[in-house]
Amino acid sequence: MFRSFLHKLLLLGFCIVASWGHTQEKGEVSCNPESNEEVLHELIARAANGDPEAQVTLGELYAEGDGTTTNPVEAVRLWKLAAAQKYAPAFYHLGNAYSNGFGVVKDADLAATCWSVAAEMGHAFSQTLLAAAYATGEGRQQDLVMAVKWHRRAADQGDPMSQLLLSSAYASGKGVAADDTEAFKWCRQSAEQGLAEAQTRLGFMFGRGQGVAKDLTEANRWHRKAADQGDSEAQVMLGLAYAEGQGVPRDTVEAAKWYRKAADLGNPIAQYHLALAYAKGEGLKENHREAVSWYQRSARQGFAESQYLLGMITYAGRGVESDAVEGLQWVLVAIAQGHEKAELIRPQLEERMSPEQIKEAQALAKQFQPKTEPH
């Protein structure tokens, strides 16, 4: 939410770029005065003299406890002083404070009002947040047309998140007429700024030929960019590309590598594909116990195909001790999500079970609640 202490001071002119020399790398930054404490005192003095930029920056320091003690109330006080001078970043921070209940009572309406003031002044981040308020109906009456309006204002200023959300609006036709060409244009602008979510989305668009000619090589290039930033969806897509030889030579080892990266991040689809790789010995040494472990992690997060396969495996006792009750439980959980194969196999499983076992499995299935793994 806030910038680092050194970066804040750089922006305020407290630090100077070191002269090139044998003892420092090019572009290294050196701060004068000698200590952050002296610099902080100077910042406090500037804020006390009414400098709105210093007031906002000092508020950020108090908000984070960066170079000083955390003090949310003092942060808000300083932002209010800067806001009184019609300084747009102050309204942005006040909006965030009201949105999160930081140093003030949480109030979505006041948050949106603060962002609205800053947005009218041309503050791009506030325009993005105001658009979100209109899109969700939090602090503003839901209005998708207004959401698009403010995302466009921020996107025109180069805000990558608004560019991506504007792209999504054009792709879905929500708040604006559907237009895949416009969707592609805004997604690309966002992706070129390095936003991983946009790079993943752009890869999908190239892969499907949505708003652009289908190009699997380009799809994989953008997915790799996002995957290298740790985007688990892109990692799954790269894994699938290597597994199927789509735009790249087929390589099951490389596929399993990307599945594991995404699976370790908690992606349930990746966990499912990694389980399959272990079960079939594709790109990995066949290991049914490992397969069961990854099916379990995926199933617990609510992925229906993993629930179905885990049910079948557990019922049969492949890689795990046979347990008809638990096996049927997972099949029933998958059925609740509309899994057709699970629905078809259910009678065959139940005909080999006692009424008591079936009742127990049904009770367990009703109690199931998916739990997303923390990333």
pLDDT by residue (tens digit) across 299-358?
Answer: 999 999 999 999 999 999 998 999 999 999 999 999 999 999 999 999 999 999 999 999
Query: What pLDDT was estimated at residue 19?
Result: 29
Check pLDDT > 90 for residue 22: no
Residue whose tokens read 């879905």: 172
pLDDT in tens, 26-61: 334 344 445 677 888 889 999 999 999 999 999 999
Query: What pLDDT was estimated at residue 99?
Result: 97
Query: What pLDDT was estimated at residue 40?
Result: 85
Provide the H-helix boundaries in 105-231: 108-120, 124-136, 144-156, 160-172, 180-192, 196-208, 216-228
Q: How many helices (H) and strands (E) does the chain have?
A: 20, 2
More confident residue, 12 or 345: 345
Secondary-structure breakdown of the chain: helix, strand, coil percentages, each rounded to the nearest 5:
65, 0, 30
Query: What pLDDT was estimated at residue 66?
Result: 79
Check pLDDT > 70 for residue 195: yes
Check pLDDT > 70 for residue 4: no
Query: What pLDDT was estimated at residue 170?
Result: 98
CA 332 to chain centroid, in Å, comes to 31
- pLDDT (mean) for 96-105: 97
As a whole number, the mean pLDDT across the chain is 92
* Residues 29, 76: Cα–Cα separation, whole Å: 30
* Residues 264, 373: Cα–Cα separation, whole Å: 10
What tokens were used for 275? 């389980």
Q: Which backbone phi and psi does 121 adopt, to 5 degrees?
A: -80, -5
Q: Which backbone phi and psi does 224 adopt, to 5 degrees?
A: -65, -40
Query: What pLDDT was estimated at residue 37?
Result: 79
- pLDDT (mean) for 234-240: 98
Q: Is the CB of residue 360 less than 8 Å from the CB of residue 331? A: no
| % pLDDT > 70, the chain | 90
What tokens were used for 29? 């930054």
* Residues 103, 77: Cα–Cα separation, whole Å: 9
Check pLDDT > 80 for residue 10: no
Check pLDDT > 60 for residue 187: yes
- pLDDT (mean) for 120-141: 97
Q: Is the CB of residue 313 less than 8 Å from the CB of residue 305? A: no
Q: Is the dihedral of CA 167, 173, 175, 176 positive or negative?
A: positive
